[in-house]
A = this chain, B = another copy of it.
Amino acid sequence: MAEFRPGSPDQEAFRADLFEAGLLIDSGVPGLYGRGGAFEGVMAGFERLVAAAGAEERPEVMRFPPLLPRRQLEDVNYLKSFPHLAGTVFSFAGDDAAAAEQEAHACAHEDWSGYQAMTDLVLVPAACYPVYPAIAARGALPAGGIMVDAGPAYVFRHEPSGDPARMQMFHQREMVRLGEPEVVAAWRDSWRDRALGLLRGVGLDADFAVAADPFFGRAGRMLRASQLQQELKFEIQVQIAGPEPTAVASFNYHQEHFASVFGLRTAAGDTAHTACLGFGLERITLALFRTHGLDLQAWPDEVRGRLLG
């Protein structure tokens, strides 16, 4: 199992304060938290701001559950880049006797993994993944492509941590653009300032950075260098707790990667390009409570008005 990474002292203290204030609810597993009403209200408020900002593009609304067909994870080669972050779903398929044995082990908190077999489902690792095959199944894109509002969607990353901003299960507030290369590149650039404006508009000291994904193993170092050099990933970062700022939104330009796997074509018949933008809703909410304090009543009126008005 993935090793637990303790948080920095101020991250651990912030997590304890969030539990104490009822903003997050401890489950006993690091990175898996319930959310209290005040936290949820702020998160829903920011989500509405993103939805409103995207509405002018008249996106197509799609929503997907937190599970993905295992075959799609295999097809996009996720296990080459991020084997350490993936979660797969196992289940039981035995008779009465096997069920009784499994239960006896489980009751005693002993190992019962031997009674579980891999299913055809995995946890969704990124909110945009289900969008590509769904759009590809319709045939070629219309001229100008399309934008999909994939909403707030749960994603899983298996990285238990004492930093409250590093959750194992969290919401990405996701938008996806599919179309001709120049259309997709322009879309990504146009959202850079809009996203910064949304975050600064609720009082966050947000900055922009070129970034790289946490690719696995020795080969991962080269992948990171190449991604940085090609400027395929941008992030917006905010100081929450800890020694460094935390990414709270991420822009990924996949070029032909997903389109070639799923056969996504432009109206002209060429391989499409895709890009996505995801806001990390729990991280943004944590940044808001870190910036404005744990007592929602004491937040600046303007921020409260934007989020809760």
Q: Chain A interface (Cβ within 8 Å of chain B)? A: 1-2, 25-29, 32-37, 40-41, 60-69, 71-74, 77, 79-80, 83-84, 86-96, 99, 102-103, 106-107, 109, 111-113, 116-121, 123, 130, 133-134, 137, 151, 154, 156, 158, 168-170, 216-219
Contacts and interface: CB of A to CB of B under 8 A. Distances in A.
Contact of A83 (B92, B107, B170): B92
Nearest to A94: B83
A83 B106 CA distance: 11
Q: What is the interface of chain A mostly: helix, strand, loop, or mixed?
A: mixed
Chain copies in the assembled complex: 2
Q: Which 3 A-B pairs have the closest CB atoms?
A: A37-B61, A113-B118, A65-B169
Given A99-B79, A99-B217, A118-B116, A36 B65 contact: no
B61 A93 contact: no
Contacts of A33: 65
Nearest to A93: B1
Contacts of A93: 1-2, 84
Contacts of A29: 69, 120-121
A188 to B, nearest CB: 23
Given A71-B109, A154-B154, A123 B89 contact: yes
Given A83-B92, A83-B102, 12 more contacts: A2-B119, A25-B64, A28-B133, A35-B62, A36-B61, A67-B169, A77-B103, A77-B107, A84-B93, A99-B217, A116-B118, A121-B168
Contacts of A86: 91-92
Q: Which of A26, A116, A137 has the most CB of B within 10 A?
A: A116
A27 B92 contact: no
B69 A27 contact: yes
Nearest to A114: B118
Contact of A37 (B60, B87, B96, B134): B60
A89 B216 CA distance: 20
Given A130-B27, A217-B99, A218-B96, A74 B32 contact: no
B87 A88 contact: no
